[in-house]
Structure 1
Amino acid sequence: MNPSYVPQARRSRLAVAVALLLAVPALQAQEAATLDAVEVTAQRKVENIQDVPVSITSVDAEKLELYGSGGADIRFLSARVPSLNIESSYGRAFPRFYIRGLGNTDFDLNASQPVSLVYDEVVQESPLLKGFPLFDLERVEVLRGPQGTLFGRNTPAGVVKFESAKPSQEFGGYAKLGYGSDDMVNFEGAVGGALGPRWSARLSALYQRRDDSVDNTLAGAPNESFEGYDESAVRLQFLYEGDAFEALLNLHRRDLNGTARLFRGNIIQPGSNNLVPGFDRDEVSLDGVNFSDLETWGASARLRWDFDGLVLHSITGYETAESLNRGDIDGGYGAVFLPDSGPGVIPFASESADGLPDHEQVTQEFRLESDNDGPFNWQAGLFWYREDITIHGFNYDSLAPGNPQAGFAVQQQENKAWAVFASGEYQATERLKLRAGLRYTQDEKKFSASVIEAAPFGAPVGGPYRVDTDANDVSWDASAVYALNDDVNLYARVAKGFRAPSIQGRLLFADPGAPNGGVTTADSEEVISWEAGIKADLWDRRARLGFNLFRYTVDDQQIIAVGGGSNIATLLNADRTVGQGFELDLEAYLADQLLVTLGSSYNDTEIQDSSLAVAPCAACTVTDPLDGSGRALIDGNPLPQAPEWVHNLTARYGVPLSSGELYFYTDWAYRSEVNFFLYESLEFRGKSSLEGGLRVGYAWQQGDREVALFGRNITDQVRVVGAIDFNNLTGFLNEPRTWGVEFRTRF
């Protein structure tokens, strides 16, 4: 692959930095700390991460503990893994994932994402399921590039995979309690052990809360303050281990009550992406109601039968969610035609809510794999998926006493899919291993939407407006791993991914004259991705390196034109999108007590569609050319929420003491500028971001007891991380600085 697309100066600086960093361990003492092998299940079986021909990052339990010290939700992984960005316009409830720039900015509860989230081998398709808290986990794996053969369900960009800690016959567990700023409380714990000679169980729980930290300066407003939350989650697992049969049963639940995303009107300075002078993140003036309620629960059964040379797996999953999320979209109070309004210009009031009163997802997979010592091994299976959802959309009149309802719409969708897949690997020579796989998918959607009560300036009462889609596709992958020696592997991979058609039906603010009431559909998208890289264990396992180059093309990429001056969300297909770059993962002991990890990625994305145009914002400075209808031509633009550069660094230094260990642990995550929308403008381009964390702790009794002081966003950086573009210069912010103390015990 020709890496000429990476600027030469940047490549040179990166090469020098890596060379200097890798040279340091050679100066250390001969008897030195070494890195343990990292086991992953990226290919649906346990393997050493160095042998897997995929660009992959594994995040262990200690790092997860560091990142989550301040009670943060799943978004704390953003920029802490190469090529990964996560954002949300719902707060803690609805994370949106982007890998190598590919994602979906759509905020509809029906939106599909090209990054699949798999929790304990069960796909979490609804955006509201993707934010399940991270606690009592063995590891997190981030697989970059199409994973359509073995995971299948909406994976053209990649997979984020979570594995919970499993029950065992040995009694044990832990408890962790943290307290911090804004009366933040963070509890996490687990206990498990044997129930009999073959049965064991593990109960895990989490509870997090934080008081409101933002005051509402508007007298008599429905909410006096914002940004607090109260969240709990629990997971109960039972494990049966027979002679040739194993069963892992999982029950889990999440409850969230708190503040919806806090939109702040006119916080961006016109003609720039700076915050307005005198901005205070601790105050707002809002006349709308704000809350976020979410309840999810599910169950799964993972069964395994061992036969002579064969293993049969059955994975059954059930998930359901119920939610209501309401917020003040205009980010202020009043309206410009009233005697009093603000902050800045509020053209008209906008307050809305999205609810998911009915949701059900059922999945079933059967997978058969070979288990022998020969040169060829394989796995094949069947997958079935069904999801039924009902979405309620509400509009409210913020200018009337009591903020009464002023608009109501309903969406319903039934999605059924099935797939058959097979994958094999062949040890061609002592040093060369080949892999390949195929998957056939059939996907059907039946969608209807109706406007029951019309909202001001929106579509009239009408419907049901119906759309049916039926698509099929063959995904595939082929790869090779060549062992230069016992410590260095070279690999290359090519893969094709697929995402089924999507349907968007936010009718309350649809164009009254739009066909089919404003329901829009995006056709299937297909991705072809190439990557080649090196994975190496260095200096007697004192360091581990992963580096790859990649390039992909997306045909008919599904994109969403969100908002604009008309506040209409429209699904579109771009003719082609191209992405290219590199990813680096490095872990090294620079001294026996100093462990450093470095992650870095470069992503260059470009939309290639000479005729594609979208509605621009009403109050920003658009830099794209406009067509004859005043719409912005987006050919050549980068994808939204796709930073070119992501860097992350962690460093842990331990000081052995006679009674334990004193340690210092810091982490830093950088991402470069991002566009918030498909068009480019001066105001709606997020500044680069650098956030750091710090943890200072003391562990004793062989690490079973630990107390630590922690800080998140320790520089108190304030950044606009997303925006609402139809009305005014409304944005929302990153998480504030958090300090606290934490105690943990293992037993």
Structure 2
Amino acid sequence: MNGLGYKLLGGVCAFAFAQPALAQDSGPDQAAAERSASGPVSTSDIVVTALRRSERLQDVPVSVTALGSAALSQQRLQQVSDLAGSVPNLQASTVAGDGLPIFSLRGVSMSDFSFNQQGPVATYFDEVYKGSFPLLGLGMFDLERVEVLRGPQGTLYGKNTTGGAINFISKRPGHDSEAYLKLGYGNYNRYDADGAVQAGLGDTLAARIAFTFSRADGWFKNLMPGRPDGSAVRQYGVRASLLFEPNDKLDFILRLTTSLQNPIEYGVLGEPVGSLGIGNGVYEMFGASSYFRTGLGRREMEADNIGRHRHRTYGASLTGNWHVADALTVTSVTSYDYGRLRVIDEADGTPLRVLEADLKGRGKQLSQDLRLSSDFDGPFNFIFGAYYNIEKLWNETSAGFYSDIDVNGDGALTWEDCVDSGFAVSCIYRNNYKQVRKSAAVYTDMNYKLSDRLILRGGIRYTQDRGKVVGYRAQIEGPDGVPIVNTIPGDDPFDFDASTSARFKKGTVTGKVGVDFKTADNDLIYASFSRGYRANAFNAQAYFSPAELNVAEPETVNAYELGFKSQFLDRAVTFNGAAFYYDYRDQQAISVNSVTHIQTLINIPKSRILGAEFELTVHPVQALRINVGVGILDTKIKEGSLNGTSLRGNQLPNAPKLSASAGFDWDIVETGGGKLSWGVNGSFTSKQYFDLFNTERTAQKGYALVNSQLSYRFADDRYGVSLWGKNIFNKYYARYSLDLSGNGFDYTHLADPRTYGISFDAKF
């Protein structure tokens, strides 16, 4: 159950730092890209594949930020959620933990965090779409680069999305023998190890094996005797890649991955609201006391039911390229993924059992992307493709409310306590179901060069999405696990094997048109219109009535964008920017009827988003690199209501009006013995809301962060040592917060405190 689901059931019971210029890619431009990731190379040398072609970043007519392996290492971006501090107008909520962020890009986000939902910002690992939480394993290791595309993705990418796409691209196996190992130690008894080994296995085969391992004690101190501290780290990931090149026309890469996250769960800050404390006076009705969180520090809790988060994933993908002619290439990406996820959420962070949840999910998916690309010398080029994805999920969610109260005073916690309370206290609400989603699409992306400076671009995509939920059942149980009543389907309240189903089918056309112009100085100016959509969704928060098991309509975004990419002073300065306007329709959200308590997944009819990003990179001298970034957003809901309350005029959640950043990397001293470098980056994020109601009490005020790293590399570049610190001034801020005042508290996920450490690396 997500935080919003807690709120609904509770009512029944009572900048980001911008660094665009570090990326790399395989293929003919690989050498230049590798140089750009390791040293001060002009952004004209950066190669990305944002549009499914290898292109210079400065030639790509879309708003994209690319982070190469050096930038990822220098900024210690280890979790996917860390990207929010490095990409303009990208935010991440961590309602399910740091390893499972909910992204918001240019203000496009989602408010239903159920395991079955697929977010509006798509995540890809080596071109494989991974949408649902159980399938999202560790991916931030041994990467060539990360590319973040802003704006609707309605043509080239596997899934239609309204917000954008984030692409994680791992290092390609090569025939040269190489290896590296990086070891680190930090506060909170943190241990890190990352490495890779690569070798040629003959003229046609090459292999690469990479791994990551991290372990740390929890920083959220638990003062409950015998119970562990929260927000620990315990994870590893392994990726094996095999390259097969039988001739100069064919190449295949097989990638096999697995990961495990098994830490003590994230700590939750339960902040009392009002004078009745956490429990909202309910315990007093039965001769006990609510909880007031007295005598605790702001990163301390007394949680009795904190346990382990467990997330296991497996994946296999095969990418093949066949150069059928000098200017025609067929690309195939085939993948299979499997994942299991369990989250035990100690939602109140107290010795009481006011609100607790147990979320379980497992899923598997099979996908196929097949496309034909041209690279003609003439004015016209194209990509034609077809895509198919099938995803199968099983989910079970339970939420217990006041499950430690002996309502009838008989000395035992049983199903009778729930019944005697009128199904309000000492009850557990549970549902489970199977979901199947299928998506099939055909698409094309084309460009026509009218002159050496002017290019027309266009693309269109037809997608058919199908989905069904089967075996859906919801029950109310006692604290002893005994089922009391079947609420869904509910035809026979005592037939606990009964279930129901729902399904949808929708065909949609999306696309993009645009024009880009190269000036006499080789700067790029582009304009585009694009349309993206997010498919129908099932309501996984159905607990009381079959009427709740509804299907929301798709979201759509019509996006208008004007951007530029420029370089001057002999390419020492790169200045890129974009301005945009979004017409955002039918955003999906949960709504609850205040009288019947029936909750459904609805659509908010209309919102609008205005904004811009600017990224500046300056190399005044070879030894110094300066980066500045700014993100600006102005969001507004124009039509819509939720739970009977008008949202008109409210801001969208996770959409701060201003994010700004500045940083530098300075090679202080370079001698025959080695090189000493220092890097600092700071960011500011203005006030943001975490819900559609714009609840002031749970909003995060503006805050600033500062990170730094001091490194020394020996002359042969084989060995290095670094001292690093993140959140150096120990800023206290929330990544997510929710109003649960119906239960007497606000539910808050805190961001990491100050962390620091030392790392050593060696290349072989």
- Contact residue 696 and residue 709 of structure 1 kept, 8 A: yes
Residues 60-119 of structure 1 deviation map (CA, whole Å, 9 limit, x = unaligned) = 1111112327xx411111132111011211213321111100011322101121101111
Query: Which residue is 2:219 aligned to?
Result: 213
TM-score after normalising by structure 1: 0.86
- Rate the CA distance shift 1:687–1:568 in 2: closer, same or farther, 3 A: farther
Query: Which residue is 1:479 aligned to?
Result: 514
In the TM superposition, residue 269 of structure 1 has moved relative to its aligned partner by 8.7
Structure 2 residue 647 is the aligned partner of structure 1 residue 634: yes
- Rate the CA distance shift 1:133–1:458 in 2: closer, same or farther, 3 A: farther
1:439 corresponds, among 461, 470, 476, to 461
Q: Secondary structure at the match of 1:583?
A: strand
Query: Which residue is 1:742 aligned to?
Result: 759
- Contact residue 155 and residue 459 of structure 2 kept, 8 A: yes
Structure 2 residue 48 is the aligned partner of structure 1 residue 35: no
Query: Which residue is 2:307 aligned to?
Result: 290
In the TM superposition, residue 278 of structure 1 has moved relative to its aligned partner by 7.0
Residues 208-263 of structure 1 deviation map (CA, whole Å, 9 limit, x = unaligned) = 0101233322346xx33222121000100001122211101100111000133322
2:665 corresponds, among 652, 670, 677, to 652
1:321 corresponds, among 335, 339, 350, to 339
Structure 2 residue 698 is the aligned partner of structure 1 residue 684: yes
Structure 2 residue 395 is the aligned partner of structure 1 residue 391: yes
- Contact residue 550 and residue 601 of structure 2 kept, 8 A: yes
Query: Which residue is 1:256 aligned to?
Result: 261
Q: Secondary structure at the match of 1:444?
A: strand
CA distance in 2, matches of 1:33, 1:709: 21
Residues 604-638 of structure 1 deviation map (CA, whole Å, 9 limit, x = unaligned) = 111111x5133xxxxxxxxxxxxxxxx43211111
CA distance in 2, matches of 1:399, 1:277: 21
Q: Secondary structure at the match of 1:496?
A: strand
Query: Which residue is 2:84 aligned to?
Result: 78
Tell me the matched-pair count.
673
Q: Secondary structure at the match of 1:258?
A: coil
CA distance in 1, matches of 2:101, 2:368: 25
Q: Secondary structure at the match of 2:100?
A: coil
AA aligned opposite 1:558: Q
- Rate the CA distance shift 1:679–1:567 in 2: closer, same or farther, 3 A: farther
AA aligned opposite 2:228: E
Q: Secondary structure at the match of 2:578?
A: strand
- Rate the CA distance shift 1:633–1:33 in 2: closer, same or farther, 3 A: closer
- Rate the CA distance shift 1:58–1:269 in 2: closer, same or farther, 3 A: farther
- Contact residue 238 and residue 257 of structure 2 kept, 8 A: yes
AA aligned opposite 1:179: Y
- Contact residue 314 and residue 364 of structure 1 kept, 8 A: yes
TM-score after normalising by structure 2: 0.84
Query: Which residue is 2:615 aligned to?
Result: 585
Between the aligned residues of both structures, percent identity stands at 28
Structure 2 residue 381 is the aligned partner of structure 1 residue 355: no
CA distance in 1, matches of 2:623, 2:485: 64
Q: Secondary structure at the match of 1:291?
A: coil
CA distance in 1, matches of 2:117, 2:634: 25
Query: Which residue is 1:603 aligned to?
Result: 633
CA distance in 2, matches of 1:647, 1:277: 37
Query: Which residue is 2:568 aligned to?
Result: 538
- Contact residue 490 and residue 535 of structure 1 kept, 8 A: yes
In the TM superposition, residue 51 of structure 1 has moved relative to its aligned partner by 1.1
CA distance in 2, matches of 1:699, 1:527: 48
CA distance in 1, matches of 2:201, 2:384: 34
1:200 corresponds, among 206, 223, 226, to 206
In the TM superposition, residue 430 of structure 1 has moved relative to its aligned partner by 1.3
CA distance in 2, matches of 1:565, 1:210: 47
- Rate the CA distance shift 1:595–1:363 in 2: closer, same or farther, 3 A: same
Q: Secondary structure at the match of 1:420?
A: strand
- Contact residue 460 and residue 509 of structure 2 kept, 8 A: yes
In the TM superposition, residue 453 of structure 1 has moved relative to its aligned partner by 4.8
In the TM superposition, residue 297 of structure 1 has moved relative to its aligned partner by 0.9
In the TM superposition, residue 669 of structure 1 has moved relative to its aligned partner by 2.4
Map 1:81-92; keep pairs closer than 5 Å. Answer: 81-92=87-98
Structure 2 residue 324 is the aligned partner of structure 1 residue 307: yes
Query: Which residue is 1:238 aligned to?
Result: 242
Query: Which residue is 2:26 aligned to?
Result: none
In the TM superposition, residue 406 of structure 1 has moved relative to its aligned partner by 4.2
1:730 corresponds, among 728, 743, 747, to 747
In the TM superposition, residue 301 of structure 1 has moved relative to its aligned partner by 0.3
Structure 2 residue 65 is the aligned partner of structure 1 residue 60: no
AA aligned opposite 1:107: F
- Contact residue 698 and residue 738 of structure 2 kept, 8 A: no
In the TM superposition, residue 571 of structure 1 has moved relative to its aligned partner by 2.0
Map 1:139-154; keep pairs closer than 5 Å. Answer: 139-154=145-160
CA distance in 1, matches of 2:478, 2:312: 28
Structure 2 residue 454 is the aligned partner of structure 1 residue 454: no
Structure 2 residue 112 is the aligned partner of structure 1 residue 112: no
In the TM superposition, residue 128 of structure 1 has moved relative to its aligned partner by 3.6
- Contact residue 287 and residue 398 of structure 1 kept, 8 A: no
- Contact residue 454 and residue 516 of structure 2 kept, 8 A: yes
CA distance in 2, matches of 1:259, 1:111: 25
**TM-align CA RMSD:** 2.6
Unaligned stretches of 5+ residues in structure 2: 1-14, 16-38, 276-291, 406-411, 415-425, 490-498
In the TM superposition, residue 332 of structure 1 has moved relative to its aligned partner by 1.8
In the TM superposition, residue 286 of structure 1 has moved relative to its aligned partner by 1.6
CA distance in 1, matches of 2:374, 2:684: 43
CA distance in 2, matches of 1:391, 1:33: 48
Query: Which residue is 1:342 aligned to?
Result: none
Q: Secondary structure at the match of 1:151?
A: coil
- Contact residue 111 and residue 588 of structure 2 kept, 8 A: no
AA aligned opposite 1:471: K
In the TM superposition, residue 486 of structure 1 has moved relative to its aligned partner by 4.3
AA aligned opposite 2:641: L
- Contact residue 473 and residue 486 of structure 2 kept, 8 A: no
CA distance in 1, matches of 2:636, 2:519: 35
- Rate the CA distance shift 1:376–1:184 in 2: closer, same or farther, 3 A: same
- Rate the CA distance shift 1:405–1:658 in 2: closer, same or farther, 3 A: farther
In the TM superposition, residue 291 of structure 1 has moved relative to its aligned partner by 2.1
CA distance in 2, matches of 1:385, 1:654: 47
Query: Which residue is 1:613 aligned to?
Result: 642
CA distance in 2, matches of 1:263, 1:643: 23
Map 1:486-501; keep pairs closer than 5 Å. Answer: 486-501=521-536
- Rate the CA distance shift 1:215–1:325 in 2: closer, same or farther, 3 A: same
In the TM superposition, residue 407 of structure 1 has moved relative to its aligned partner by 4.6
Query: Which residue is 1:24 aligned to?
Result: none
